[in-house]
Structure 1
Amino acid sequence: MPIEDNDELRRILDYDRVAVIGASTSYEKAAHIVPAYLQRHGYEIIPVNPTADEIFGERAYDSLADVPGPIDIVEIFRPSEEVPDIVEQAVARDDVKALWMQLGIRNDEAVQAAETAGLDVVQDHCMKVEHGQLIRHPMD
């Protein structure tokens, strides 16, 4: 089951290094706004976008496999049907702790594969919103 519990969401939000699949150079897109917000709040953001050289002042990588060093969270800004391939890449790395599918992105098959491989999974939640509610301005 994907994580919904606030304590578990806080635990995941406590990680530091986030690879953003589908990070955008377009300032008005959620795939730019959300990671930029996270970067301003202390997260190390690693953009993954084969059409960009640099985003958020950071080198952009062509694929998840190209990202050096361990990754805590893979944040996904891609269509739901692309998520199974992203899960496969994340599992192949053997260093990813959590998979976060942004608001509107759901794939139950991918959730099952990721959880079977030992990854924590959040789907259909905005990381910026959850951070704002649970970390920056806790409501409980």
Structure 2
Amino acid sequence: MSDSADAERVLSEATTIAVVGLSRDPAKSAHSVPAAMQSAGFRVIPVHPSADVLLGERVYRTLADVPEPVDIVDVFRPSAEAAGVAKQAAAIGAKALWLQQGIVSAEARATAAEAGMDYVEDQCIAVVRAVAGITR
């Protein structure tokens, strides 16, 4: 699934977004996009290997460390890493896997389908949110 209507549906049904690869650098989209989602009222959970606090939230080292249910796993990692993230997202029971603009992975798509997760790739979650006017 990657058309606009499906992406809007996935986002409209979500409140909690775990962001794999949230950046420390405010100039990068991997920081500004999650910040925009947080400003729109979504619960953003940073997943980063070494940061402690990002966007005012506690950072978790892996998806498996996140202690609450996750609606969307939003991926800001290279396409080559997406399949591994998809497996982790499936393991925690995430409802959807979202690969940011420029990120595509047939293997991640297959993993998501097998796990029954909704799947969006190559789309910016903040753009979809803004265009659709979705807030929490």
Could you give the per-residue CA deviations for residues 7-50 of structure 1, whole angstroms, max 9, x where no partner exists?
x2222112100000000110000000000000000000000001
2:106 matches 1:108: yes
Q: Give the alignment's TM-score, normalised by structure 1.
A: 0.91
Report the CA distance between 1:57 and its aligned residue.
0.1
Matched residue, 2:38: 39
Q: Which amino acid aligns with 2:21?
A: G
Q: Which runs of 5+ in 1 are unaligned?
A: none
Q: Which amino acid in the other structure matches residue 125 of structure 1?
A: Q
The corresponding residue for 2:116 is 118
Aligned residue number for residue 82 of structure 1: 81
Asked whether the 8 Å contact 2:21–2:76 carries over to 1, the reply is yes
Question: 1:3 Cα deviation (Å)?
Answer: 2.9
SS in 2 for 1:13: helix
Compare CA radii of gyration and give the structure with the larger one.
1
Q: CA deviation at 1:112?
A: 1.2
Change in Cα spacing, 1:26 to 1:5, as seen in structure 2 (3 Å) is closer
* TM-score, normalised relative to structure 2: 0.94
Cα RMSD over matched residues? 1.0
Residue type at the aligned position of 1:35: P
Would you say the 8 A contact 1:3–1:120 is kept in 2? no
2:11 corresponds to which letter in structure 1? L
Aligned ranges for residues 93-104 of structure 1 at < 5 Å?
A: 93-94=92-93, 96-104=94-102
| Per-residue deviation, residues 40-84 of structure 1 (Å, max 9, x unmatched) | 000000000011000000001000000011000000000000011
How far apart are the structure 2 equivalents of 1:111 and 1:10?
Answer: 18
Gaps of 5+ in 2: none
Q: How many residues align?
A: 133
Could you list the structure 1 runs, at least 4 aligned residues long, displaced by more than 2 angstroms after superposition. none
